[in-house]
Structure formats: structure tokens, C-alpha cells
Amino acid sequence: MRNHYSITEFLTTAYSLVLTKLFYKKARLIRRPFYIRGKSGLQFDEGLTTGHGCRYDLIGNKSKTLYIGKNCEMGDNVHIVAYEKVQIGDNCLMASKIFISDTNHGDYSNRSEDSSPTSVPKDRPLITKPVSIGSNVWIGENVCVLLGVTIGHGSIIGANSVVNRDIPDNCIAVGSPAKVIKSYNFVSKRWEKISSENITNKQPL
């Protein structure tokens, strides 16, 4: 699809392109405004494209916590929090207003003493668990990906979904919380409604 820019958009894109080549040489285009805290924590491969208003909150102690693969494209206002590790594979496509975080204020897992509701939320201890998003993943508008989640290669996350559990390879998941509704059948070459047989029979990309 070819883009048809207004004069204003053309000028702002040209400005963003100049800054991209100065400060993020491997990227294709980092549109402005772009916010990053802890830049030393970012590692990305060639071809990264972002929309307007993307924000990365990283720990910034020179350890890499956000890894983005080749040729990834993100829409406007994608917010990623990576204090331990968020890894995104190659050729991922993300719509706008997506939130991805490996961090939570407080512990509510019942695995230890949970955070008390009488404590101030911002003062609760930060709990981190790595997030992994495979290659060729397509994430729709307004999706929230929570800490500790793995999204498999080739999977699709429907708009407005909240992903709080692992999604296998080559599946479509929707809802809040997100549930798998289809998986790709490499024999019929179709996305088929989910069954236990399909979900356990993973195929390589």
C-alpha cells in the first residue's frame, strides 16, 4: 500500500527520517515524537519502523532489556516497559495503542505474600517476568501484553485483547483474557477453529 502524505506529514516525516539516520542508524524510520528512558537498554536489528508517540521505558543501567528483531513495524503510541527482558522477533507488525510490559507494581500471584491493598500502589515492589514475542506476529489495536507471557511465532492477537497467558505458535487469540480460537493447519493451508489436536501439533514457520 502506497502512502499519500499531506505536505505537513511529508515535512514531519522528512524531519523524523533525518533524526533517525543520525541517532538510530539501523532503523528505517523513527517517527517523532519518540520517547525513550534508558536508551542503553535498547537493542534492535535493521528495519525498525515506529509510529508517532511511541514510548520505551527501560531500566537504563547499560544492560539490554528490550530486543527488537529485523523489519518490525509499530503503529502510533506503542508503549513498552522492559525492566527485565522483552524480546520481539523478526517481521512483527503492531497496530497502535499497544501496551507491552514485563513489570508489575506489586505481587498478586498467591505464590508468596501478596501486596496489600492498603499500601500505596507506586510504593509496592516491582515484580518482573520476561516477555517473548515470536517472529511474524501481528498484534491488533489496543492490545495489552502482560508480564511473563510468550506469544509464539506466526500468531495473531485480535484488537482489544489482554494477553495474560502464553499463546502457542501459529494461532489466533482474541478477548480479555485472550483465548485461542483458531490455529493454522499446514496441510489444508487454512486457519481452523481450535481443537486439542491442532493446538498441540505445532508446525515450524
> Which grid coordinates are listed for 12?
514531519
Quick one: which of 48, 52, 72 has its CA closest to 8? 52
Question: What letter does residue 28 receive in the DSSP assignment?
Answer: S
* Annotated active-site residue in 4, 52, 105, 153: 105
In angstroms, the CA 74 to CA 78 distance is 7
C-alpha to C-alpha distance for 144 and 132, rounded to whole angstroms: 14
Is residue 39 helix, strand or coil?
Answer: helix
Number of neighbours of residue 175 by Cβ within 10 angstroms: 14
With contact defined as beta carbons under 8 Å apart, do 142 and 150 qualify? no
**Residues recorded for the chain:** 205
Q: Which residues neighbour 131 within 8 Å (Cβ) at sequence distance 6 or greater?
A: 82, 85, 86, 87, 100, 101, 102, 145, 146, 147, 148, 149, 150
105 is catalytic: yes
Residues belonging to the active site: 105
